Each structure stands twice: as C-alpha cells, then as structure tokens.
Structure 1
Amino acid sequence: MTRRFRMLVLVVVMLVITAVGTVVLWARHDDREPVTILGTWTAKQGEQFEAVLRSFGIPFRYQGTAAQREVLLSKVQSGEPPDIVIMPSIGELAEYAEQDLLEPLDALYDPEEYGGPWKPTGSGSGHVYWVPVKADLKSIVWYREGERPAASPAPLRSWCMGMSDDGTSGWPGTDWIEDLVLQQQGPDVYEKWALNKERRDWWRGDAVRTAWESWASLLRQDRAAARHALLTDHRGDPDGNGLLFEGWGGCTLEHQGSFAPSFYKDEARRARMTDSARLLPGGDGRLRGREVTGDFAALFGDRPQARELIRRLASKEGQQKWAATTNVFSANRRVAPHGSAVEREIARRLGEGPRCLDASDVMPPAVRDAFYEAVLLTIARAAAGRDIDIPGVLADVQRVQDAQTAQGTDRSAAPRTVCSTT
C-alpha cells in the first residue's frame, strides 16, 4: 500500500469507464501533501518553472515529461492523477472535462485579462476548465543572423526538419500542414476544419488536400533529406544547439514555434525569425493569419492549495514573473513585453490578429493521433521514393473523424472557436 493511500482522509469512489474499458478509482489526496503538477517542461525550462512555483510559497512536487499524455493516462487509470496538469492539448482536456474528471476554474482568474484565442470560451455547462499559462507563436521561420532568406518558397534542402519526439512523433509535420491550410485558405476555413464544423468531409476536401500536396511536393524533392527528417528529433542532438545550428545538409531555415530558442541554447542569441507565409510552398506569400499555441493548466483535484497555486500562476503577477524569469510568452494582456528585440517582436505578433490555435491541439485525441500518423506515413513514403497516395492517407484520417462523429461523443467542453482577432 502506498504512502498516499495510508494518508487518505476522504475517499470518493467514481467509476469511469474509459475507451479501453478501464475502471478508475478516484481518490482525494491528504491536504498536507504537496500539490502535484504534471507538465511538459524539462531540463532548464523545467528548473525555471519550479523556481517560479517556489516563489508562491505553496509546497509542490513537479514532474516534467515529453511523454505527458501517456503518463497522465496511466495516473488517471490508476486513480492517482496529479492535482494540476499543464498541457497544450485542449482536445484532450475537453475529454477529461466531459468525463467529470476536471474541476471548474470559474473563480480563480479573470478571463477578460486573456486575449483570444487563448481565452476560454466556456462549455455547455457554463464552466471553464483550463487557463492559459504560456503562449507561443507558430507561423514563423527561424534563420541564422546574417543569413536572411529570400522572399520566395525554399527548397527542401534549405529546411532543418525533424519529426521525432517522445510519444508524440509527427507533430512538427502537423504544424506545417496547419500553417499551409491557414495561409492558403484563411482563418474561416481553418477553424471549420479544426472543429469539424458543418460535419463535412474536411480531410478529403480541397482545403486540406491542397495543403497536404504542397507539403508532399516539398518532401519529394530529396529522399535523403526526407529520410533524415523522419529519423531526427525536432530538438536536435541532446548535446547540440538545435537543428538550425547543426545545419545538416546545409539547411538554413527552421519552421518552428517561438519556443525554438530553448533548443538553440548558447546559439539562441544568433537566431532571427520572420513570418512563414512567403517561404511556404504552394502559396501566394500572403499572411492570412498566425497559428499560435498555448500551455493550459487544469485541475483534477479540488484541494485549496492546488486552487490557490492555479490562481497565483494565472494572475498578472504570476504570469509576469514566469515570463520574465524564463523568457516565455504570456497570453495575459496585462503582462508587459520583455527580453531581446526578437522576443519583443514575437510578443507583438502574438497580439496581432487573426490568430488561430494549433488545430491538432483542439481536435479529439483520436483524430489528432491519426493526423500525426498520416504525417509520418507521408514523409516515410517520400523517403522511400514511393507513391504517397494523398487521397488514401487523408481518407484514413477521415474515417477516424467519422467514427468520432458516429459515437455521438459529448463535446460540450470543447472550444467553440479557434481563431480570433481580439
């Protein structure tokens, strides 16, 4: 018997049947225990986040992992979820909320302090279940100081690209597809696809297929570069300074979010960025919107200490401290820009619309995972010099989407909008 179970003062048993038929026994934690937090930040950024948490004066125990979804699912199924989880996947959080596993955050922060599209839009019950504690910009391309790219689409060999990640390989490719849909079709079509509005065959439709073909045309240019991208970690070598500064094959550009400098380490001061629209294949170079992402905090337990920690982290003061300490970005509109000229420029662009949340982050997890797999299959076929069969690849994702729709799954906690100009 674990120490946690020996210290139980109240046990509330809830039977939750998950998609794999697992029975979950829910247990309330002893109020004397530290607040448990599960997040994605590791290494230096994890240490910086812990320093911010310590300043709140609330005992805590933080676990950072790149395999967060697997770790969280295991903890939930074992009946010992963390008090707080911080993750980018709103679609996953919505599923937990719809199973009554998350606590409402209605009185813990002022939603009006947060700009769209990070600002929670509420659920069918009128509650909000997550709060943005970090924001990032994705429709950008990084290059090395003094090597500004030409204003035209770049060939595959110019791109520093890696698809591998712990437990979530393929997501860097979904960023490419999402940005292409946004720049080619605009925010209205992007939002309808991301939220499966109008229940159309979005995955087999022209908008997604055109974006996918644009990316595939890039991958077909060089089998060796495609193979390298498939087998390479998006962060680069653990002992290196990120893909951009490793420069495999002479690559000089990286389509990556505003968090990329954390991979560049000592070379980050030489990194510069520009809007992605003019460098993407198959477009007219016009910037129609900016893809953004966020990390959202949610409560699995209702202990006062956990609620207070969320309140402090989401406040203007907490967000200002987190942003200033770690050079990250906040969706809180009261937090002042900070850092270098590049960081201030990112903060400015994060404030300009239209902005659209990462589409895969708001999709149901099953659809998101099928999206990841389709990206990996596409690049694997390009690396092998085989026919990619884009209609077949997208039909597979559509079947997963159709199965989700046919199940009539409760999506009342899912976001109502993805794009915003406010």
Structure 2
Amino acid sequence: MRTFQRRGAWAAVAGAAVIGLALTGCTGDAAEQDAADVDCGDYEDYGTFDGAEVTISGTILDLEADRLVESWSDFQTCTGISIEYQGSSEFEAQIAVLAEGGNAPDIGIVPQPGLLNRLVAGGWAIPASEPVVANIDEFWDPIWKEYATVDGTTYAAPLMASIKGYVWYSPTEFEEAGYEIPTTLDELSDLSATIAADSGHKPWCVGLESGEATGWPGTDWIEDYMLRLHGPEVYDQWVTHEIPFNDPMVAEAFDAVGEYLKNEDMVNGGIGDVSTQISEAFQTAGLPILDGECSLHHQASFYETFWNPDGGDENTVASDGSVFGFLLPPVDADSGMAVTGGGEFPVAFRDAEEVEAVRAYLSSDTWANNRVSLGGVISANKGVDPENASSELLVQSIEILQDPETTFRFDGSDLMPGAVGADSFWKGIVSWVGGEDTQTVLDTIEATWPSS
C-alpha cells in the first residue's frame, strides 16, 4: 500500500459541509468497535485523527450502500475518522447546485467524468493529493487517470468499475439447444436468427426505462458497437466531437444495433413488441431469460445483482448456473479484447487532512480488496485479487480489466457534455426505437452539442 504522508501535506479548512440533498439510503455511522478487535496494520500510515468527521454522498443506495459503509468500518476504527455516507437518486442533478452554494458534502462519489469536469469548471473540486495520485499511478491503467484529469490536474482516483458489454444468457438453454458462444458480431447475428427461428420466442429482451434517464441502456449498445466497428481512436473522436454525432460511422453503429432493437423478430422476448422496450424497466428486462421467454440480454456486469430481485440466491450466476454472460464479441475473432465500462470518482469539496486520508484509503488496494470481498462489484484496481470477487463472472471481469492487452474505454455518454450524454442521446434512443429514422435522430443529437 502507498505510504500516506499525513502531517503537513494538506491545509485544514474549518467547518464541515452541510448536506442539502434529498437523501435516501443509509448513514455511515459505523457500529462502535473495540479497536483491540481490529488489526490496524493496514491503516497505520493514514495517521490518527481525534474526533474528525467526513461526509460522503453519491448515487449508491440500498444493499450496495450498506456494503460501501462496511468497507471503511475498520478504517474508521483505526484512524478515528467518523465517515457518514448518504445516498440520493438526485445526487447527479443536485451536486453542482450544492457545491455552488457551499453546501456540498466533503466527498461526492461522481459517476460521470463529464460531471466531474463541470464541478472543476465551477471551481468547486479540490485537486487530488499526492498520495491519491501516487495510488492512481500504481494501481490503475493510465486511461483511468485521464478521466479524472482536467488541464493537467488530477482531481480524483477511480473507485469501483463495471464492464458494460455483457450479453446474459441461460447456460442450460444453450447446452440443450446446442448454441455456441459467438466469437464475432456476425456469429452473434446468426445465433440471434437461429433462436428466432427455432426457439418459439424472440431472442432478445430489452428494457430502456430508467425514470428521467430513460434511454441510457440503448446508449450502451451504441457505444459497444462504435468501439468494435471503428476502434478506440474513432471512439475517442466521437466522444470528444472531433467527428460529429451524425457522422456516417455513427450511423453505421446505430443501424447495426437497429438490426436488434428495431426488429420485431428480435425483440422484445417475454415482454411484448418493439415499443415495450421504452416502458420496460432496465432492472427487470433480463428476467424473462429465467422463464425461457427470451435468450439474450445486453447489460453491464453490475446486472448480476438483479437476477435475484427478492434478495434470495436461487438464481446462480455461473457458467453452469441459472445465468451467465459473455462479452459482446468483436468484428474479427482475432481482434484483441475491447470493452466499454463505467466507474465512479470520489471528488473532494473540502480541503482537509481527514478528507484526503479518506480519499487515499479509497484509492488503495486495501480498500478495493475489502469492497470487492463484500460482493456484487468489481474494481479496475490492479492490486485487487480477482478471487475476492463474489462470482465467476465478476472474477472474469476483474481479470479483463487487469489484462494489459485489454482496450478499455469509459461509457461514451458519461464522457460527453451533459446536454448530449445525459439528455439528447438518451432521448434520441427513445425516439429512434419509437420509429424515427437514424439520420433524423443523429442530426437532432448533433444540433444539441454545445458550441464551446
């Protein structure tokens, strides 16, 4: 673990931020523990703080919030820093307003590099300390540092991660029907056609509904196809607007995805016709696989938690279990691994030693292993032991992220300006699935790209 140079490294700022979010989820008041019961060897470099408090907010809710709080329990005991976490579904919409008013939490777990850039532009974000940057350099692929660096200054380390390009399926169905895992996009198309012709059900089940964010699951499809059809350089040009959103290469990706999402023969298995994709919640859309009513569902590694919506464990995620996933394949079977994904970045709004101590811990291999061991998530931290993950698929996901041969690109809509990535792109997907033609949708999105 990177040594934490505690004293004299940061200027303390008096007063904790007041959190004004409409909050749900759980608080971070750890159960009182006897320090003698905790091995503090992994935490001694962070120093000790008498009565210090750090507030954290983010979009992480429910069980995942409980696990997040548990992941720093020993750190609190050993350092004396009391951490309070509060989650809100409105975090992304409100954090800039709170920061502008001086009411932001000490740390905000920001899930979008585009939002991080907005917070930096407002002058509210605190640059990452040397120990945090040192951990980034040691434990992450350099591409992750780029996502939290603005004008040469790094503002946060990555936290957790996800891989966006999984196709979920039933191993039992595949074995009984003799289906093979496709190794190219053409093979995936052939498999889909075979399932449509032979199974008695439509092969794909899709849900695009997500409240005000309805449409985002469709953007994941487009991003996966942009990366696979055109490669990382064109992908980067697209998300930075070096090529326009209505470029023919973007249209090619939309039309390739449209072979599934706009095709009555392909969707919406177990749910209804093409139009039901817009009203079906993304959380429930894959569940028809369990009833044999569809065969394939495109969703990220984090979807693992949705296979048991009642909190049980009757549906196992394994290559010989109830469900499993394969990565959306490349154009050419000999191509290297290229994946899209997401993650979060703990951004600081208060310049204080205890805040940076917490951020240094969250950027360490110690924290990453603690959190991954609690289940349900992965990290791109290279210090994570993949075997700590809670399922075969998550072990595989960590190995993919740690593989130096993997080409990783962050979720494109999260990198784009909010007016596009969190608005017109989502809305465009809904209009497009609803029947609007590709060129009209792309022209509409392109017109929303900020001029500066």
Residues 230-287 of structure 1: CA distance to partner in whole angstroms, max 9, x if unpaired? 1111111xxxxx7235658811211111111111132243321112126xxxx66775
Provide the secondary structure at the position in 2 that maps to 1:373. helix
- TM-score, normalised by the number of residues in structure 2: 0.73
**Contact 1:244-1:253 at 8 Å conserved across structures:** no
Q: 1:10 to 1:221 in 2, by over 3 A?
A: closer
Counterpart CA distance in 1 for 2:154 and 2:148 is 5
1:219 alignment partner in structure 2: 261
Q: Hey, what's the Cα distance between the residues in 1 that align with 2:441 and 2:103?
A: 38
TM-score where L is the length of structure 1: 0.78
Task: Measure how far apart 1:74 and its partner are.
Answer: 4.3
Matching residue within 162, 165, 170 for 1:139 = 165
d(CA) in 1 for partners of 2:291 and 2:431? 22
State the distance in 2 between where 1:160 and 1:68 align.
30
Distance 2:360 2:211 in 1: 30
| Counterparts of 1:135 and 1:34, CA distance in 2 | 27
Larger gyration radius, structure 1 or structure 2: 2
Write the letter of the residue equivalent to 1:62.
Y
Gaps of 5+ in 2: 1-12, 18-49, 183-187, 197-201
Is the Cα–Cα contact under 8 Å of residues 88 and 294 in structure 1 kept in the other structure?
Answer: yes
What CA distance in whole angstroms lies between the structure 1 residues aligned with 2:438 and 2:291? 28
Alignment: residue pair count: 361
Change (3 A) 1:181 1:124: closer
Residue 71 of structure 1 corresponds to 94
- Give 3-state SS (helix, strand or coil) of 2:120's partner: helix
Equivalent residue number for residue 122 of structure 2: 99
**Alpha-carbon offset, residue 160 of structure 1:** 2.2
Q: Does 1:371 align with 2:394?
A: no
Distance in 2 (CA, whole Å) between partners of 1:33 and 1:225 is: 56
- Tell me the equivalent position of 2:59: 40
Q: Which amino acid aligns with 2:408?
A: R
Supply the distance in 1 between the matched residues of 2:212 and 2:443 (Cα, whole angstroms).
24
In structure 1, give the amino acid aligned to 2:108.
V
Amino acid corresponding to residue 372 of structure 1 in structure 2: W
Aligned ranges 1:4-403 → 2 under 5 Å: 34-57=53-76, 58-109=81-132, 110=134, 111-112=136-137, 113-120=139-146, 123=149, 125-148=151-174, 149-150=179-180, 151=182, 152-153=188-189, 154=192, 157-197=202-242, 200-201=243-244, 203-222=245-264, 224-236=272-284, 243-245=286-288, 250-265=293-308, 266=313, 267-269=315-317, 270-277=322-329, 289-338=338-387, 339=389, 340-352=391-403, 353-368=406-421, 369-381=423-435, 388-401=436-449
Contact 1:120 / 1:131 at 8 angstroms: preserved in 2?
no
Give 2:5's aligned residue. none
For residue 225 of structure 1, what is the amino acid of its counterpart?
D
Structure 2 equivalent of residue 5 of structure 1: none
**Whole-Å separation in 2 of the counterparts to 1:122 and 1:229:** 33
Shift, 1:380, TM fit: 2.4
Deviations 1:110-141 (A, max 9, x none): 22221143234674543201211111111221
Flag the 1:302–1:194 CA change in 2: closer, same or farther, 3 A: same
What is the SS of the residue equivalent to 1:131?
Answer: coil
Q: Could you tell me how far 1:75 is from its partner in structure 2?
A: 2.7
Displacement after TM superposition at 1:301 (Å): 1.6
Per the TM alignment, residue 106 of structure 1 is displaced from its structure 2 partner at its CA by 3.4
The 1:105–1:10 alpha-carbon spacing in structure 2 relative to 1, beyond 3 Å, is same
Aligned identity (percent) is 25
Rounded Cα–Cα distance in structure 2 between residues aligned with 1:191 and 1:74: 29
User: Alignment partner of 1:273: what SS?
Assistant: strand
* Partner Cα distance (1:59, 1:41) in 2: 19
Q: Counterpart in 1 of 2:25?
A: none
- Structure 1 vs Structure 2 CA RMSD: 2.7
Query: 2:434 & 2:51 partners in 1: Cα distance?
Result: 51
Question: Which amino acid letter does the alignment assign opposite residue 143 of structure 2?
Answer: P
Q: CA deviation at 1:77?
A: 4.8
Give me the whole-angstrom Cα distance separating, in 2, the residues matched to 1:366 and 1:250.
Answer: 37
Q: Please give the secondary structure, in 2, of the residue aligned with 1:119.
A: helix
1:344 Cα shift? 1.8
CA–CA distance in 1 between the matches of 2:359 and 2:442? 39
SS of structure 1 residue aligned to 2:301? coil
Contact 1:35/1:59 (CA < 8 Å) preserved in 2?
yes
Provide the C-alpha distance between the structure 1 equivalents of 2:52 and 2:210, rounded to a whole number of angstroms.
Answer: 33
In structure 2, what is the Cα distance between the partners aligned to 1:52 and 1:166? 29
Q: State the Cα deviation string for residues 159-200 of structure 1 (Å, max 9, x = none).
A: 221112243221111000001111111111111111223xx3
Query: 3-state SS of the aligned residue for 1:348?
Result: helix
The 3 A distance-change label for structure 1 pair 54 and 122 is closer
CA contact (8 A) 1:135 1:329 kept: yes
**Structure 2 residue aligned with 1:415:** none
What is the alpha-carbon distance in structure 2 between the residues aligned to residue 225 and residue 346 of structure 1? 32
Contact 1:143–1:244 (CA<8 Å) still a contact in 2? no
**Whose RCO is larger (CA < 8 A, sep 6+)?**
1
Over residues 51-93 of structure 1, what are the superposed CA-to-partner deviations in whole Å (9 max), with x where a residue is unaligned? 1122221312212233331232443354311111113210110
Cross-structure match for 2:185: none
Which 4+ stretches in 1 moved above 4 angstroms?
8-12, 121-125, 245-249, 283-288
Q: Do the aligned partners of 2:140 and 2:380 also contact (CA within 8 Å) in 1?
A: yes
Residues 375, 185 of structure 1: alpha-carbon distance in 2 compared, 3 angstrom cutoff: same
Letter in 2 for 1:360: S
